[in-house]
């Protein structure tokens, strides 16, 4: 049993919490690149000293929007493991899900997303980092990285002046809409969510595609006239129901690959959507994490984040 006084947690527990938090914050600035595990032990001394001076422990805040990211496999794997655990805990506390995501969910999700974006183009760094992750997280990370690479290759650069963004509907509301689509057309909710994520980051990206596709599910006008059931292509509920109708008519749920290929005739697109869908079906927390990711766009001058905290 841990011993504790009436004003705060026991020294060992406090050391574990604060030493871990301090170690992470220092490591993320690049000061603990070689031996974060050993350095954390000495940071416990500082944590206990702070506790003695300031009273009860306060949880470490999430990383700032543009916090530094480590660039070495060991530090990266630890940062991704800890951030994913922190994000899961923050999502568990996010009640009700019909409201906007809390600030800590947004910041943890952004930091997680930025780690994956750092790893995706560097296959060697990604391989060495993923090899150090716990098995379950390693499997999820491989799917995320492969899906990102597949979609990135398919995405043409777009001029910055044409980018339009806006807030997504609450995650809980969208989840009900996917459920409506599944009940009506038997297309799995997670497949509809994955299409929504891939096409417009759940409606955050409002720009039409280079081919003229529109709305949160990115319909071409001719396809929408046939499958949109008379709805508004820019309305999230109408668009999700229209997508379910189109996918069902194209073979879902019996043949999801054929249905998704009709939606976008690219094997890479189909594979990416199914990877995200598989992860959301296996763990609904993944849906809320992906919902909280931000919009990065490929422009002629490089990638650019256009939503979320910390922007000019």
Q: Where are the strands (E) in 161-307, listed by range?
A: 296-299, 302-305
pLDDT, one tens digit per residue, over 296-312 is 999 999 999 999 999 98
Q: What is the pLDDT of residue 211?
A: 85
Q: What is the residue-averaged pLDDT of the chain? A: 87
Mean pLDDT confidence for 145-149: 98
pLDDT at 89 over 80: yes
Neighbours of 66 (CB within 10 A): 13
- Per-residue confidence band for 280, with pLDDT thresholds at 50, 70 and 90: very high
Q: Identify whether 92 is preceded by a cis peptide bond (ω within 30 of 0).
A: no
CA dihedral 191, 85, 294, 122 (to 10 degrees): -90
Domains of the chain (ranges, CATH numbers)? 9-60 (no CATH), 161-283 (1.10.530.10)
As a residue count, the chain comes to 312
Alpha carbon of 242 to those of 10, 181, 223: distances in Å?
Answer: 56, 8, 10
In the structure, what pLDDT confidence band is assigned to residue 59 with cuts at 50, 70 and 90? low
Residue written as token pair 């980018």: 163
Question: Is beta strand 296-299 parallel, antiparallel or unpaired with respect to 302-305?
Answer: antiparallel
| Structure-derived torsion over alpha carbons of residues 268, 270, 272, 278, reported in degrees to the nearest 10 | -150
Is 44's pLDDT higher than 50? no
**149-to-44, 120, 152, 153, 199 alpha-carbon distances in Å:** 40, 6, 5, 6, 15
pLDDT of residue 160: 83
Omega before 253 within 30 of 0, i.e. cis: yes
pLDDT per residue over 212-259, tens digit each?
Answer: 999 999 999 999 999 999 999 999 999 999 999 999 999 999 999 999
Count CB atoms within 10 A of the CB of residue 201: 20
* pLDDT of 161: 86
Q: How far is 43 from 25, CA to CA, in rounded Å?
A: 11
């Amino acid at each position: 049993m841990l011993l504790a006084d009436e004003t705060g947690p026991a020294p060992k527990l406090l050391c574990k919490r604060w030493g871990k938090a301090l170690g992470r914050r220092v490591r993320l600035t690049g000061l603990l690149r070689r031996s974060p595990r050993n350095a954390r032990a000495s940071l416990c001394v500082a944590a206990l000293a702070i506790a003695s001076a300031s009273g009860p422990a306060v949880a470490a805040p999430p990383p700032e929007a543009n916090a530094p990211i480590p660039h070495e496999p060991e530090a990266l794997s630890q940062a991704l493991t800890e951030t994913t655990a922190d994000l899961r805990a923050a999502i568990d506390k996010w009640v009700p899900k019909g409201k906007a995501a809390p600030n800590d969910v947004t910041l943890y999700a952004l930091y997680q997303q930025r780690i994956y974006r750092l790893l995706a183009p560097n296959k060697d760094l990604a391989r060495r980092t993923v090899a150090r992750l716990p098995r379950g997280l390693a499997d999820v990370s491989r799917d995320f990285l492969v899906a990102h690479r597949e979609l990135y290759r398919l995405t043409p650069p777009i001029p910055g002046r044409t980018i339009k963004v806006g807030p997504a509907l609450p995650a809980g509301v969208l989840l009900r809409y996917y459920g409506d689509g599944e009940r009506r057309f038997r297309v799995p909710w997670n497949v509809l969510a994955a299409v929504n994520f891939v096409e417009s980051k759940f409606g955050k990206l409002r720009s039409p595609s280079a081919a003229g596709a529109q709305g949160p599910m990115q319909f071409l006008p001719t396809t929408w006239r046939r499958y949109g059931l008379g709805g508004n292509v820019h309305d999230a509920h109408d668009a999700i129901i229209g997508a379910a109708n189109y996918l069902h008519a194209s073979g879902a749920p019996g043949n999801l690959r054929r249905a998704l290929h009709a939606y976008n005739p690219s094997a890479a697109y189909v594979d990416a959507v199914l990877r995200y869908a598989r992860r959301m079906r296996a763990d609904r927390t993944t849906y809320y994490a992906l919902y909280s990711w931000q919009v990065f766009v490929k422009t002629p001058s490089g990638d650019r984040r256009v939503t979320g905290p910390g922007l000019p």
